[in-house]
Chain A
Amino acid sequence: MNIIEKILANSAVKPEVTPGEIVEANIDVAMTHDLTGPLAIKSFHQIGTKKVWDNNKVVIVLDHLVPASSVISAGLHKIVRNFAQEQNIKNFYDVGRGGVCHQVMSERGHVRPGEVIVGSDSHTCTYGAFGAFATGIGSTEMAAVFATGKLWFRVPEVIKVDVSGKFQKLVSSKDLTLKIVGTIGADGAIYKGLVFSGSTIQDMTVDSRMVLTNMAVEMGAKVGIIEPDQKTLDYVKARTSIPFNSVNSDPDATYEKVVNIDISDLEPQVAVPHSVDNVKSVSEVEDIEINQGFIGSCTNGRLEDLREAAKILKGKKIAKSVRLIVIPASQEIYLMAINEGLINLLMDAGATISNPNCGPCLGGHMGIMADGEACISTSNRNFIGRMGSTKSYVYLASPATVAASAMTGKITDPRRKMDRE
């Protein structure tokens, strides 16, 4: 069996499972947040059960509109806060205690290899970076999980993406991720599992791996997973004392197909409006004017992303025509970035720093776009209206490309910027 089949078999207490089979999995962790949580809570009360199945296995993070952006969102926070208190949810991360849910889940030790984790957020698939079966579900299904601790899954066919080669300077996991999304397509992995493997993945940091698995859903995948190794175990064990059963694919595991990618010649990549799989090399889109840059989100708001941006912006200024919004993905990252001097450096360059939260990624607040404006962003979606006006444009790119573009006011290859200066 491959790793996905093994985790589902263990969770459903079966010796073996095969693709197409429907299993009822026991859920190890269930996560919800301020935008999908209130509906889950409403549905939970409608079902009529009094207590969540296990208050230690529920994690709640306020992250989409924090601090409250309006009276309405303040009301949503209140609903969630009251629920956390009433259900005695210990792992509740209120404003200022956590950050973006997927980062908080990972760095606070709620994600462990071999586990089945659901979240009422599509980017829950991020946790596959730690060898967990993790997927997004809707609010009412979350209510059913709160009530029963179980959920059905169809065992997916699995596509293996095997990556080899070394990154060129200033080319990173975001560029590889966009390359994979462009290759597989926005619907190329619907209902399927993705396993990312190969020497490039083995060499990657945990932060970089999370970028890949985060965007698995942009190909329609149920899960995107990386086989746990020593790096995974070191990261997780430093963050939790809860025991877990890490599993890896059998040597004779089977896959629906294998996609091979060599990154030796990979250039920085950009996903252009309005589809995530509309991916081009930066050289094809250079000189497109941008009004805003955004470095942050569950995709690229981690310390190494801020370091990469700081490397390019050190001692420089962003273009007058551009506002650059930087949002560290968690309180922990924010503090480390301050201590390392990264925040000073980014502010000197002209960036605006906001508190850890989802920010403009989904057009909630903190950087909404007007008609005709363009944003280059490290986030994960460039759909029509995603960051505000339905007449605005979102380009997805790496932190290095966003930083370089903010300096010139046009989409810019970060390698050229570093060479020139």
Chain B
Amino acid sequence: MTISGKVIKFGNNIDTDVILPGPYLVHTDPNELAKHAMEGLDPKFPEKAAKGVIVVGNKNFGCGSSREQAPIALKFSGVKGVLAESFARIFYRNAITIGLPVLVCTGISEKVNEGDILVVDLQSGNVEDITNGNVLQATKLPKFIMEILDDGGLISHLKRRFETNE
């Protein structure tokens, strides 16, 4: 599986309150959540992400609350995947669960610029910056996580598993 898109960059400790502010947690429609993605830092983010983008973060991306609505908002706003130096653990698990690829990629916050085009091979962890020619290696995802992503998230993965078992 390959993802590609223009880069939107963010800094350290991007928390779930800026990714999806608390007052919007009452919404259950993913498209409604998407309208408020990253509103705490950039209210124009959904407009920018609509064509399909890759978010690049620095350290501790997604820290804070357990709200699964945060990765859902990103995914439905047009984010194809998030690459960062490190992730907060609940956000990381939630992203995989809802089928948003997240990769730890050391050095990405320095070697990739805002607006660059990235092509990411999720299987191998190969990250290519088409704009400046840099090639980086992200940490490969374990097989069982790749299976969840391939199935489009944990729900479809579990459904498939239950169906196969029956």
Chain A residues within CB distance 8 Å of chain B:
22, 35-36, 38-39, 42-43, 46-49, 64-65, 70, 72-73, 76, 119-122, 124, 136-141, 143-144, 147, 186-187, 190-191, 217-218, 220, 222, 275, 362-364, 381, 383-386, 390
Closest to A390 in B: B40
Contacts of A364 in B (CB 8 A): 22-23, 25
Interchain residue pairs with CB less than 8 A apart (14): A35-B26, A43-B155, A47-B159, A76-B26, A120-B66, A140-B94, A141-B94, A147-B158, A186-B60, A187-B86, A190-B89, A364-B25, A383-B64, A385-B22
CB of B89 within 8 A of CB of A386, answer no
Chain B nearest CB: distance from A127 CB in Å? 14
Instruction: Give the complex CA separation of A136 and B92 in angstroms.
Output: 12
**Known contacts A47-B158, A138-B94; is A220 also within 8 Å of B60 by CB?**
yes
Interface status of B49 (Cβ within 8 A of chain A) = no
Residues of B within 8 A of A42 (CB): 28
For A154, the closest partner residue in chain B by CB is B89
When C-beta atoms are compared, the residue in chain A nearest to B70 turns out to be: A138
Within the complex, what minimum Cβ distance (angstroms) separates A344 from chain B? 32
Given A138-B90, A138-B97, A141-B94, A122 contacting B64 (CB threshold 8 A): yes
Contact of B153 among A136, A140, A187 (CB under 8 A): A140
Contact A220 B88 (CB under 8 A): yes
Given the interface pairs A47-B159, A384-B40, the reply to whether A220 lies near B89 with Cβ below 8 Å is yes
User: Which of B13-21, B75-83, B111-119, B129-137 is the interface stretch?
Assistant: B13-21
Q: In the assembly, what is the distance between CA of A138 and CA of B22, in Å? A: 15
8 Å CB contact of A137 from B13, B60, B66: B66
A18 nearest CB across to chain B (Å) = 17
- Residue of B25, B59, B67, B98 with most chain A CB atoms under a 10 A cut-off: B25
Taking a contact as CB atoms under 8 Å apart, the answer to whether A48 and B65 are in contact is no
Q: Which residues of B contact A (CB under 8 A)?
A: 12-13, 15, 17-18, 21-23, 25-28, 39-41, 59-60, 63-69, 86-90, 93-94, 97-98, 142, 153-155, 158-159, 162
CA distance A384 to B10 in the complex (A): 14
Complex partner residue of A141 from B27, B59, B93, B159, CB under 8 angstroms? B93
A246 to B91, CA, bound (A): 30
Bound-state CA distance A49–B40 (Å) is: 37
Among A70, A138, A364, A390, max chain B CB count under 10 A is at A138
Assess whether B18 is in contact with A385, with CB atoms less than 8 Å apart.
Answer: yes
The 10 nearest A-B residue pairs measured at CB: A187-B60, A138-B94, A138-B68, A136-B66, A383-B17, A362-B22, A122-B66, A363-B22, A72-B26, A385-B40
Q: Are A72 and B88 in contact, CB atoms less than 8 angstroms apart? A: no
Q: Which residues of B contact A76 (CB under 8 A)?
A: 26, 28
Q: Who on chain B is nearest to A277 by CB?
A: B13
For A39, list chain B residues within 8 Å (CB): 28, 68-69
Closest to B94 in A: A138
How distant is the Cα of A220 from the Cα of B93 in the complex, in angstroms? 13
For B155, the chain A residues whose CB sits under 8 A away are: 43, 46-47, 140, 143
Known A187-B86, A275-B13, A384-B17; judge A36-B66 contact (CB<8 A): yes
A36 CA to B15 CA, complexed, in Å: 17
Asked if A191 contacts B13 (CB within 8 A), the reply is no
Q: Which of A43, A187, A362 contacts B65 (CB 8 A)?
A: A362
Closest to B153 in A: A140
Chain A positions within 8 Å of B89 at CB level: 190-191, 220, 222
Asked if A138 and B60 make an inter-chain contact with CB atoms under 8 angstroms apart, the answer reads: no
Q: How far is the CA of A383 from the CA of B98 in the complex (A)?
A: 24
Q: Is the beta-carbon distance between B162 and A137 smaller than 8 angstroms?
A: no
Q: Which residues of B contact A384 (CB under 8 A)?
A: 15, 17-18, 40-41
B93 touches A187 (CB 8 A): no
Q: Name the B residues within 8 Å of A139 (CB-CB).
A: 68
User: Smallest CB–CB gap between A165 and chain B, Å?
Assistant: 29
A47 touches B162 (CB 8 A): yes
A139 CB, min distance to chain B CBs, angstroms: 5
Bound-state Cα–Cα, A297 to B127, Å: 43
The complex places the Cα of A18 from the Cα of B63 at a distance, in Å, of 26
A275→B60 CA distance, assembly (Å):
12
Given A47-B158, A217-B90, A362-B22; 15 other pairs, CB 8 A cutoff: A35-B26, A36-B25, A43-B155, A120-B68, A122-B66, A124-B66, A136-B66, A187-B59, A190-B89, A220-B88, A222-B89, A275-B13, A362-B17, A363-B21, A390-B18
Docked Cα-Cα span, A186 to B23, in Å, equals 24
Complex contacts, B93 vs chain A, CB 8 Å: 137-138, 141
Contacts of B142 in A (CB 8 A): 22
Given contacts A122-B65, A386-B17, contact A141 B154 (CB under 8 A): yes
Q: Which residues of A sit under 8 angstroms from B27, Cβ to Cβ? A: 72
Q: How far is the CA of A36 from the CA of B26 in the complex (A)?
A: 9
> Which of A124, A140, A390 has the most chain B CB within a 10 Å cutoff?
A140
Interface contact B13-A36, CB-CB below 8 Å? no
Is B68 a contact partner of A36 (Cβ separation < 8 A)? yes
Q: How far in angstroms is the closest Cβ of chain B from A25?
A: 14
